[in-house]
Amino acid sequence: MKLSRSAILSALVASLLLLGLVTVVSAADPSVTITGYAYTGPPLVTADDATNVAPNSATLNGEIIYRGSSNVTCRGFEWGYETGNYIASWNETGAFEEGAFSHNVSGLTGNVYVYWRAFAINTQGQGNSMELSFLTTALPGPPTDFVVIGVGDTMVGLSWAIGAKADIIVIRGSSNGYPSSVTDGYLVYSGNETSLTIDGLNLETSTYYYRAWSHNDYGYSAAYAEGYAGNPIGIPSIIFVVSMCGFALWKKGWIRILLSVCIIIWGTFAMQYDIKIAAPLLALGAILFIMSIMKHIETAREAQA
């Protein structure tokens, strides 16, 4: 039977269409392999939603669903703060088959969108997943308008404004300087009120230091607020300094020198708390020191004469 020219042409077109369909299916589905038409391009990669999202870190998750014609030699992630603009990346090298991989990234900016994708590389090139994004969480801002006021001789009043994105305020106290962390000193308050009164103190002879942090589900604020109330150097200390001044009036030159130096050191220490107390101490110590040196020189000359 002899075929017509139109029948031959139709059969040829159908064969070409079938060939094209097989090629497309093979590229889209790695499980399809037809001799002569197996997919041999870059790896096929997908990405899953980021997990463990925190203010400054998150876990990125990817998967190689088909490695291509050879093992994947590099896989990783790229990310940034604008879509399509990846300013940071992470990768690992080796010989990787199909499978999931992940990496925890740190150093992210809090409360911003992060755009990212997974990638894998074989001898045919780099395959990328679709771009995904997530919003980093935010640590709270520190308390604001933090005020500590002594009320009489036994009470201290504290007031503050709740920090941004804060759930509660945590205040720690100490009589030996400001608490260095949220575990140092003793707990004064934890809650969402904006003021507090503390009674049973002795403001005449002691100083009470308070430092406040904000807290939410993601942790404590990086910054804090602070204040103190009481006598920064204490009445017994002032009595001690006055006593040193009295001893400095003795005729013994070396005693004057020693005690005037002590006054200067004490004034320097008080400088960080109250300039009105520190400045007179420094001035008095300097004067007594100069007088002591002059008296010592005069005594030495008299002894030589």
pLDDT at res. 210: 96
pLDDT at res. 23: 40
pLDDT at res. 237: 56
Residue 88, class by beta-carbon neighbours within 10 Å (0-12 exposed, 13-18 middle, 19+ buried)? middle
Residues 6 or more apart whose CB falls under 8 angstroms from that of 218 comprise 54, 55, 137, 138, 139, 140
pLDDT at res. 162: 92
- Structural domains of the chain, ranges and CATH numbers in brackets: 40-135 (2.60.40.10), 144-230 (2.60.40.10), 235-304 (no CATH)
- At residue 12, the 3 state secondary structure works out as helix
Residues 41, 52: Cα–Cα separation, whole Å: 33
What the block records as the tokens of 111 is 């409360």
Residue 95, class by beta-carbon neighbours within 10 Å (0-12 exposed, 13-18 middle, 19+ buried)? exposed
pLDDT at res. 204: 76
* Per-residue pLDDT tens digits of the chain, which is 305 residues long: 454 555 444 544 445 444 444 343 333 344 434 344 577 789 999 999 999 998 889 999 999 999 888 889 999 999 999 999 999 999 999 999 999 999 999 999 888 999 999 999 999 999 999 999 999 988 899 999 999 998 888 999 999 999 988 999 999 999 888 999 999 999 999 999 999 999 999 887 788 999 999 999 888 998 999 999 887 655 455 555 665 665 555 556 666 677 777 777 766 766 655 566 667 766 777 777 777 777 767 777 777 76
Checking phi first, is residue 117 left (phi over 0); if not, alpha (psi -120 to 50) or beta?
beta
pLDDT at res. 244: 60
pLDDT at res. 82: 95
Closest CA to 74 of 43, 50, 103: 43
pLDDT at res. 268: 73
Residues 246, 47: Cα–Cα separation, whole Å: 79
